[in-house]
Structure 1
């Protein structure tokens, strides 16, 4: 009978005296010589997974017996780091900088917890690097006398990569390059590598984008064979494609998207019935009809996992021939779709739903602005332009508001956290940064997509069909207790039970803070208290939406999990259910698929966030020395975060710049208080700030308060101030 991972763990546990060699474990489990190689590979895989600890001298033990923790290390720019343990191994472990000489940010490492530090804050030292996070890095090339070096763009990668002579690929000092790592750092030397691509001048907007693309490991060019496979696809719907599809071309479907959108995943249509019921059709591009499972297009889409959206640029999951062509629900052309047809009663409660392949013909490509002008502003000119569609749009608004009310009643959380909209010039430089408008037109489409996603997940879940759910676990009680203490300062309460919190209580709180100065801060702190949503085959529900069943179905052009849901939905129709063999195949594959697509989603989000921060810094770099009105959005022990009124930009007023007094941070009240003058800084205070410094490299914007900057200038210009400066220079 073959040995199992459980057998190995139990055997090591039964020999608590000392770490065991691989040979001792093999002999103890009576592994035959012919099976030793296979056994050693299994043992090493258990070490990689953190189930056993691989110690120096090729000996093995259980992690808890050696106080070992396995996880991913996050290195601070100042050199120290924190290891985030794998699930179930406890809190983050602090690792001092002196133990991180051979570690790079993002590496999988094993650390030994040596002392507790502060309560609940363990501290440790490095035992071993399990897995390297980087094979290539983006950075600035610097030419020395005998060799060059690359200084990584990510400040958390705080060690230069040495580049021997002849390995620089013609790079010149000051250029951005992509360097491949040939040797990783150790106690005695830095990492070494060779340059594989010269990206160019760091001030070139195109180079900036490329730098972030390479930094996050994004695939931005499609391989030739993938493009060739896409070229074989038709540009128009073929007659044979219409077989076994419902013909919905007579229904007045419309798409509603942003002004710059080029790929249209979804189209909607609504008909109000007698008695107040609403008949909603949500038609989603049938990407699976063209992208067959296992094809080159499918493999590349899976590798990317998602499209990535930068200001003025998209890195698509699928080639443009599909994403902007045959799979995009463009107006006045036939398109293949999968349809969720849902009937709601007069109170917006779902009564029935069915799902099927269809062909549609969109009547119009509407923008959020146009719908906003019709249903909210009642702009006659826009209404006249779409006079045939206007009655349906008003009915859509009524249904969407009913759906919103239903979700809030059950406890669905609506975080009002505005996003930045970057207005670019012709060369890609930021010309303005504004708060992106979120109108009833946006909410209308959001509600319909949520309704379709939930209906599909319920349908498949009721039939026990394996799929990737979009899950969101409830927050940890400790984080909720910290949040409870935070909002108490603002005179808000939150009832907590031993098992956590009812999402309806959180929704009531969000409604209470709406429109208040502290609204954004409370929204942000609550969001940070939440766990991150992810993809998984096990349905644990979606806490944030207060939904028992939820999946992603509505965006297969730009998200791979949606494409996978389309495929199982199609299989459920064709055979009336999945065969046992197919169920087993999905059960084996979906866990890894969920982990992979969750990773690619986080990677895309990090890249998108960084490019926005870059554009904000570039925009404000031209305004150093200028003064702006703003208000305090956050208070920390190290300073104040201030958001400008004129531009949707946030910067930091460092505590060290508050020179008029000694300030104390009151943690329970989240405010800074002057010891002598009793000046108080707290969320919502209006202030006037001066742009003091902008670091594009670090993505940091520093402000000073105008009144304190004026005092400092006056003091420096006074005779006494000039004498003090002179003495300082002499010293």
Structure 2
């Protein structure tokens, strides 16, 4: 039986809470083990409630609501219900009953105080803890200490006995593992498992973010071994069935510090009235097969994470910076969208094809902007063989932008800011980065490709 099917049965007005055995008999379940596992899963998620009489029912039929706690620095919290459309529930500090920010809980609703008043409630069950470890600053005393969480929504300090403090010093940024959850007026207790360094030391703040969100810095050995087995260059047999576009003029356009170059652009005139635009996307799926260790690791990571002083990649560097990066002068496998347009930016035809490409130039946004807007002599001379293509790209991007606005597009042109670090890793400046024609070229071409 599927979960939605079971929940739909429980939503019926005629349903009365039943024990697991009664449900098995009533629904004539054959695979009892799988059904019991489903019940436990739904209970842990708060979708169903197991009563004191060991009967299963829906929380909304019992005056209960399940969801996630959103803490507040002043101590109170709100329940963000799992049930769509249900309003948030206010929970006073004394009625959290040990629940912390982001915990999944079940809340009993209080009788409404009046029409239009926000619902209030009390935590009666904690389904899943969200903070097995917490990052904070250690406040050390003579016989014990406290860890003050970085996240102000965790509105309670963690008590650390002297024997559980290790070599942490006063003012250190630390990671503390919870050994005892809060009860009544009693603070949670913990053991320091990692000292990140003094709070004001360069790089410690970024490392704190890495630990807070559990970002994986290293790849498992078996994942690296699978990556190591992949070729470093395009093999002859991999070219079969792919369009050979290695002789087509191709450039990448990215930030100066970018290393994982996953898209490239080609453009050429077709007679007097037309253009051929090619957008090449690195064919990662050729190397990362579904279900492989690399695929599972990438799925778990979800995305590459860009921090102020480092990148935590979704794939090992051999792929992200190597065979799956469209590096200049190297043949690479790609998926290419070939579009034929008129001079006003209307697409007349397109095709999508696996390809082999070879990037000729690795352009940066700043250099391309200097060429197109400032006509900087040194850069203009350096890239003179590509000037016609750059000008075609800029002209086409402007026309595509105007066409989008006419169709009702919303222009979210917000400035971005980049933190510049000195040699010691301390912030030295904050640069405002506005969108220029160089960024617009990539934005417009990617939007067109997705359309």
TM-score w.r.t. structure 2 length?
A: 0.91
Q: Measured at CA, do residues 57 and 198 of structure 1 come closer, stay the same or move farther in structure 2, by a change above 3 Å?
A: farther
Q: CA deviation at 1:286?
A: 1.6
Q: Counterpart of 1:111? A: 107
**Cα displacement (A) at 1:20:** 3.6
2:392 equivalent among 378, 390, 395: 395
Measure how far apart 1:14 and its partner are: 4.6
Q: Does 1:431 align with 2:435?
A: no
**Residues of 1 paired with 2:367 and 2:2: CA distance?**
65
1:261 paired to 2:258: yes
1:117–1:123 Cα contact (<8 Å) kept: no
Q: Are residues 1:128 and 2:134 paired?
A: no
2:72 is equivalent to residue 73 of structure 1: no
- Match of 2:390, SS state, is helix
- The alpha carbon displacement at 1:334 in A equals 1.4
> Equivalences for 1:472-621 in 2 at 5 Å?
none
Q: Are 2:150 and 1:138 aligned?
A: no
Give the drift of 1:5.
Answer: 5.4
User: Higher mean Cα deviation, 431-440 or 22-31?
Assistant: 22-31
2: CA distance between counterparts of 1:187 and 1:13? 38
Q: Does 1:162 align with 2:156?
A: no
The superposition leaves residues 303-361 of structure 1 with CA deviations (integer Å, 9 ceiling, x where unpaired) of 11111111231111112222112211111221221111112223312222211121111
- Describe the superposition over 1:92-149 as per-residue Cα deviations: whole angstroms up to 9, x where unpaired: 2222222124111111122233226672632222222222212211112233444443
Q: CA, structure 1 residues 68+332, in 2 after alignment: closer, same or farther (shift >3 Å)? A: same
What root-mean-square deviation, in Å, do the aligned CA atoms of Structure 1 and Structure 2 show? 2.6
How much has 1:380 moved relative to structure 2? 3.2
User: 1:383-425: per-residue Cα shift (whole Å, max 9, x none)?
Assistant: 2211110111111111111211222222222212212111111
C-alpha distance in 1, partners of 2:6/2:225? 50
Equivalent residue in structure 2 for 1:241, among 210, 221, 238: 238
Q: Look up the match of 1:533.
A: none
Distance across 1 between alignment mates of 2:82 and 2:406: 36
Contact 2:97 2:124 in 1 (8 A): no
Deviations 1:488-536 (A, max 9, x none): xxxxxxxxxxxxxxxxxxxxxxxxxxxxxxxxxxxxxxxxxxxxxxxxx
Q: Equivalent residue for 2:9? A: 10
SS of structure 2 residue aligned to 1:318: coil
Residues 185-230 of structure 1: CA distance to partner in whole angstroms, max 9, x if unpaired? 2325332332222212111222211111011121112222222322
Deviation of 1:57 after TM superposition, in Å, equals 5.4
Contact 1:308 1:314 in 2 (8 A): yes
Task: Summarize the Cα distance change of 1:282–1:120 in structure 2 as closer, same or farther, 3 Å threshold.
Answer: farther
Instruction: Compute the displacement of 1:12 (Å).
Output: 7.1
Q: Which has the higher strand share?
A: 2
Whether contact under 8 Å (2:250, 2:264) holds in the other structure is yes
Residue 89 of structure 2: aligned partner = 93
**Secondary structure of the structure 1 residue equivalent to 2:163:** coil
Contact in 2 for aligned 1:5/1:46 (Cα 8 Å): no
Cα distance in 2 between the residues matched to 1:182 and 1:287:
42
Structure 1's 265 and 55: CA in aligned 2 closer, same or farther, altered over 3 A?
same
Residue 378 in structure 1 maps to residue 375 in structure 2: yes
Shift of 1:91: 2.1
Aligned to 1:706: none
Q: How far apart, in 1, do the equivalents of 2:435 and 2:361 lie?
A: 21
Cα deviation for residue 38 of structure 1 reads 4.6
Residue 335 of structure 1 pairs with residue 336 of structure 2: no
Query: In structure 2, what is the Cα distance between the partners aligned to 1:160 and 1:409?
Result: 55
Alignment partners' CA distance in 2, 1:401 and 1:196: 55
1:212 aligns with 2:209: yes
Asked if the contact 1:79/1:100 (under 8 Å) is kept, the reply is: no
Q: CA deviation at 1:86?
A: 2.0
Q: 1:38 to 1:188 in 2, by over 3 A?
A: farther
Q: Which residue of 2 aligns with 1:150?
A: 147
Unaligned runs of 5+ in 2: none
Alignment of 1:151-230 (within 5 A): 151-187=148-184, 189-230=186-227
Deviates more, 1:373-382 or 1:354-363: 373-382
Alignment partner, residue 283 of structure 2: 286
Q: CA deviation at 1:234?
A: 2.6
Q: CA deviation at 1:434?
A: 2.4
Q: Secondary structure at the match of 1:389?
A: helix
Cα distance in structure 1, aligned partners of 2:419 and 2:116: 44
The residue number in structure 1 matching 2:345 is: 348
CA distance in 2, matches of 1:200, 1:69: 42
Classify the secondary structure of the residue corresponding to 2:37. helix
Q: Deviations over 1:441-497 (max 9, x none)?
A: 10111111112222xxxxxxxxxxxxxxxxxxxxxxxxxxxxxxxxxxxxxxxxxxx
Alpha-carbon deviation of 1:251? 0.7
- Equivalent residue number for residue 41 of structure 2: 45
Determine the structure 1 residue equivalent to 2:292.
295
In structure 2, what is the Cα distance between the partners aligned to 1:329 and 1:14?
59
For 1:399 and 1:161, how far apart are their aligned partners in 2?
A: 58
CA, structure 1 residues 56+150, in 2 after alignment: closer, same or farther (shift >3 Å)?
farther
Q: Which has the higher helix share?
A: 1
Q: How many angstroms apart in 1 are the aligned matches of 2:253 and 2:115?
A: 53
The equivalent of 2:406 in structure 1 is: 409
Aligned residues: 450
- CA distance in structure 1 between the aligned counterparts of 2:11 and 2:246, rounded to whole angstroms: 66
Q: What displacement does 1:253 show? A: 0.2
